[in-house]
Structure 1
Amino acid sequence: MSNDEAFHDLLALLQSNSQQSLDDLVEWLRIPSVSSDSGKIAEVRRAGDWVYEKFSAAGLQTRIIETEGHPFVFAETPAVDGQPIVLVYGHYDVQPAEPLEDWISGPFDPTVRDGNLYARGATDDKGQALTHIQSVCQWLAAGNPLPLQIKFLIEGEEEVGSGNLERLLPELADELACDCVVISDSGQYANGQPAITYGLRGIATYELHVQGPSQDLHSGSFGGAVMNPAIALCKMIDSIVNGDGVIQIPGYYDAVQPLSDSERQQWRQLPQTDEAFAAGVGVNELFGEKGYSTDERRWARPTFDVNGLTSGHQGEGVKTIIPAEASAKLSFRLVPDQDPVKLTEQLEQHLRNHTPPGVTWNLKSDHGAPGMLAATDTPFVDAANVAIEAAFGTKPVMIREGGSIPIVTRFQEVLGCDCLLLGWGLSDDNAHSPNEKFCVADFHRGIEASARLWHEIAKRAQ
């Protein structure tokens, strides 16, 4: 049997096994593997064990790599002479599910509604990672060797910054050595319009704590005489960004490289309108840095956001106090060449210059990573174009992504490899939010695209 004939038999097998593939995803999603929750340590490990067993049962050489936190799962198929090596990266940990009351069905009770599978982790990232796992496991189940070597690294700490992977990556470099890293942890450009992502923004996150009086004070007895920490915090936050969406921290834009005219023109030709984008996220009007399109602002311009605010009485009814303290969780999305370490220095100086009298503050840096750009003129990108068009019925467009996958830049630096970011999700999949979902049809198309990708990469190396 020729390689092409064997591949077409594989595609038929993928189709016949589609329900089992979905059942596998449902089983994995039932495990509440929230890596940021110390009470879920055993559940996170159980999710790692699940994928370990999946690989082992398919015959891959598999091992658990222990860390100071949650473990990695490493698996590989046999080497193939004269063919490139591909490393598939994904993660089995998920975000917290709160607020639970906003979920229509339970976050860890996977439910199919209107062609979508709803559960925490459905699209970020268990569902997308499983497309590649299924394509390889079913290829081997068909009784045919893969045309190239594929390695997997599935970790359990992506949602908390991948600190252990970043630290251990140089030690694992020989074992993970590859020509290209394939990651599916992003999205399509729009429903029915698949994409290849060639750039990611970086990230820097912080917690800002503002302290005022030594205890809560009666707002009638002390109001007007003592600075309210909640008001001070709001003033400090307000000083960071102006009404046009421009960050006011001195030096913040110094390393930002301007977009090329050709790139801006390419993005203007993408099919989505501002009106459709606004409707998709449930707002009546968009906002952002003046002088840039919506896609430019969310993909290739740096930003600042407040992720959480805490101060004063949070219970039912009114409690008239001046709170003793206030805090905020902050994040910056960075573009290539911006340095999160340098940003911390700039932010601290800016806050010192904009601290209201009568309060003190402490800034805790959480995690940071630079942005990245991948080459677009590689045989891997060419193979992905063909594979995705065949599976989805539409040629993919080339985009950047506003989110961050902190480890991608480190893969480029340490492994010296190309990167393919192939997202099967949609912008309304509610990643990190209640009612996260994954389109069932796109899950199956992702499995097919993955299988076609291995076939197309091998053809180009012959």
Structure 2
Amino acid sequence: MKNNSVAVVLLLLAAGVHSFGFDELTRYVDTHKEEYVQALREWVAVESDSSDITKRSELHRMMELVVEKLQHLGGKVEMVDIGMQELPDGSTVALPKVVTAEFGSNVSDVTVCVYGHVDVQPAQKEDGWSTDPYNLTDINGNLYGRGASDNKAPVLAWIHAVEAYQALKIDLPVNVKFIIEGMEETGSNGLAAMIEAQKDTFFSDVDYIIISDCGWLSSRPALTYGTRGNCYFLAEVEGPKQDLHSGVHGGTVIEPMTDLIGILDTMISPDGSILIPGIMDAVSAFSHDEWRFYQDIEFDMDSYRAKIGVDQLMYNNKTELLAHRWRYPTVSIHGIEGAFSAPGTKTVIPAKVTAKFSIRQVPDMDPAVVEKQVTDHLHSEFAKRKSPNKLKVRMVIGAKPWLADPKHPLYQAGKAAVKRAFNTEPDLIREGGTIPIARTFQDVTEKNIIMLPIGGFDDGLHSQNEKMSRYNYIEGTKLFIAYLHEVAQITKD
């Protein structure tokens, strides 16, 4: 374990512990950047969509490519079997194996573990892409392709960082381990059990865990120290035994859709306030230190508003807007299954409709408590309607939030690495989304974690025309090279 002393780190940095060949390493990166782009092109070409069972062979091939890349560096590489995935029809299919790798085994050195994933969200040209999503396309310095930013380029950048040290015969300043999975986009099936099983073996000598599955908030580099959790619900209202014609039966039955919309409307007010009793009780207070972080963050509200295409935002100042994006819970209604949504004018009264909604929760909220609060509230509001229809509410995802201490030496090292690579100070930010594996790592391994992103604020993750800029990819590789040096300055007992 570490003697986690910020003072020690700062003293080492002030003393000028800088001579590790950074200029030589960055020149190496610059002379190999076309090779790096080609590597990303080859990885993007693999349709590693973890949600599509018909592409499972592609996902297995993707993991083999990861193995080849890591074996080329001479590390100790393994493919860990994490079992089978049960499908809705009861059949099973093999989960993609998790790839682990180890470089260096000096017991006196810090050991970091880099986590990443190489599966992607679904993508088709017909979805509105300007280019073939599986053919990396370079336009004005942006590399367009599904998975380019989330998360294939960051994984490759870490591999390139290790390779640069090796190619120049510069000793890695730390021991480096990798854990790369292929099911992140569908919930990291099997990974938590694998981490639990290997906490006393693979993870036993790991000091810190690094995750680069996130992005910057603006053009300024960022260090991420928190993510929200996600409680995802299904609320089903069932009435007649079959769909009905609104002309024949409208006015004679209490319609499930009307009930459902009525109770959904009781969860959130027009100004964004959550109306579910008790939801806000466990939310941690907004500390003065955190408030100060928000003042220094580079964020242009007008640009953000224009980018997402709205005339008005929920809040009119930066701090309040970012706080509600990152560190306060929110309710979002995502869709209604069973409702008529196809083109045309079908006059149907659906017999059964199911709302899909989520609550992004924050420290110190507990998903089990949120589940009870939501369920009790919806049943209470439904009872007030005195409807003969039936309501069922269930929570299908209960991912916990994650929060780190931005004053930890990991973040001091991050600041020093950003300063070295980009000659600027980083923003300290939180993520509004959910990265469940961070909390799993924290709870199971009890290791400290940093999120060190290189993705751009406009990369379009999960959307059409996802991209990674050449600048972020290449300069991000240099950032990772610098971080390996800076984190080595944290002393060990």
Q: TM-score range by the shorter chain?
A: over 0.9
Letter in 1 for 2:240: P
Equivalent position SS for 2:177: strand
Other-structure match for 1:23: 38
- Whether contact under 8 Å (1:226, 1:358) holds in the other structure is no
Quick one: distance in 2 between partners of 1:328 and 1:288? 27
Are 2:65 and 1:39 aligned?
Answer: no
Other-structure match for 2:451: 421
Other-structure match for 1:107: 133
Other-structure match for 2:214: 186
Other-structure match for 2:175: 149
Q: 1:166 aligns with which of 158, 168, 192?
A: 192
Other-structure match for 1:400: 430
Q: Relative to 1, partners in 2 of residues 1:424 and 1:5: Cα closer, same or farther, differing over 3 Å?
A: closer
1:130-153, Cα deviation, whole Å (9 max, x unpaired): 211211133223333312100000
- Whether contact under 8 Å (1:197, 1:422) holds in the other structure is yes
1:129-178, Cα deviation, whole Å (9 max, x unpaired): 22112111332233333121000001112112224222232211121231
Letter in 2 for 1:196: L
Quick one: distance in 2 between partners of 1:272 and 1:41? 40
Quick one: distance in 1 between partners of 2:125 and 2:234? 21
More moved, 201-210 vs 151-160: 201-210
Letter in 1 for 2:207: D
Equivalent position SS for 1:75: strand
Are 2:119 and 1:82 aligned?
Answer: no
Letter in 2 for 1:362: K
Q: Relative to 1, partners in 2 of residues 1:136 and 1:212: Cα closer, same or farther, differing over 3 Å?
A: same
Quick one: distance in 2 between partners of 1:198 and 1:316? 44
Quick one: distance in 2 between partners of 1:198 and 1:5? 27
Q: Relative to 1, partners in 2 of residues 1:362 and 1:141: Cα closer, same or farther, differing over 3 Å?
A: farther
CA drift of 1:460 comes to 4.4
Q: Relative to 1, partners in 2 of residues 1:118 and 1:231: Cα closer, same or farther, differing over 3 Å?
A: farther
Q: 2:379 aligns with which of 319, 339, 352?
A: 352
Quick one: distance in 2 between partners of 1:74 and 1:263? 36
Q: Relative to 1, partners in 2 of residues 1:373 and 1:237: Cα closer, same or farther, differing over 3 Å?
A: same
Are 2:127 and 1:97 aligned?
Answer: no
CA drift of 1:127 comes to 1.6
Letter in 1 for 2:468: F
Other-structure match for 1:296: 323
Equivalent position SS for 1:354: helix
Q: TM-score by structure 1 length?
A: 0.94
CA drift of 1:185 comes to 1.1
Q: 1:340 aligns with which of 353, 367, 373?
A: 367
Quick one: distance in 1 between partners of 2:356 and 2:96? 24
- Whether contact under 8 Å (1:55, 1:137) holds in the other structure is no
Equivalent position SS for 2:240: coil
Quick one: distance in 2 between partners of 1:379 and 1:262? 17
Letter in 1 for 2:425: K
Other-structure match for 2:462: 432
- Whether contact under 8 Å (2:335, 2:357) holds in the other structure is yes
Quick one: distance in 2 between partners of 1:212 and 1:109? 48
Quick one: distance in 2 between partners of 1:136 and 1:89? 14
Are 2:247 and 1:215 aligned?
Answer: no
- Whether contact under 8 Å (1:74, 1:151) holds in the other structure is yes
Letter in 2 for 1:299: W
CA drift of 1:27 comes to 0.9
1:187-229, Cα deviation, whole Å (9 max, x unpaired): 11202x1111111111111233322211111101111111222
More moved, 272-281 vs 294-303: 272-281
Gaps in structure 1 of 5+ consecutive residues: none
Q: 2:224 aligns with which of 184, 197, 203?
A: 197
Other-structure match for 2:400: 370
- Whether contact under 8 Å (2:299, 2:318) holds in the other structure is no
Tell me how large the CA RMSD over aligned residues is. 2.2
- Whether contact under 8 Å (2:297, 2:428) holds in the other structure is no
- Whether contact under 8 Å (2:366, 2:400) holds in the other structure is yes
- Whether contact under 8 Å (1:184, 1:421) holds in the other structure is yes
Q: Relative to 1, partners in 2 of residues 1:401 and 1:314: Cα closer, same or farther, differing over 3 Å?
A: closer
1:64-117, Cα deviation, whole Å (9 max, x unpaired): 111133321100102123211101011111122268331111222221222211
CA drift of 1:274 comes to 2.0
Letter in 2 for 1:212: G
Gaps in structure 2 of 5+ consecutive residues: 1-16, 84-94
1:324-360, Cα deviation, whole Å (9 max, x unpaired): 2222322211111111122112211112112241322
Q: Relative to 1, partners in 2 of residues 1:173 and 1:394: Cα closer, same or farther, differing over 3 Å?
A: same
Aligned length: 460
Letter in 1 for 2:235: L
Equivalent position SS for 2:150: coil
Quick one: distance in 1 between partners of 2:300 and 2:228? 22
Letter in 1 for 2:472: D
Letter in 2 for 1:215: Q
Other-structure match for 1:457: 487
Letter in 2 for 1:195: A
Equivalent position SS for 2:149: coil
Equivalent position SS for 2:331: strand
More moved, 42-51 vs 356-365: 356-365
Other-structure match for 1:58: 73
1:277-324, Cα deviation, whole Å (9 max, x unpaired): 211222111126999711111111011112233334333321111112
CA drift of 1:454 comes to 0.9
Q: TM-score by structure 2 length?
A: 0.88
Q: 2:478 aligns with which of 435, 443, 448?
A: 448
Letter in 2 for 1:28: W
Other-structure match for 2:89: none
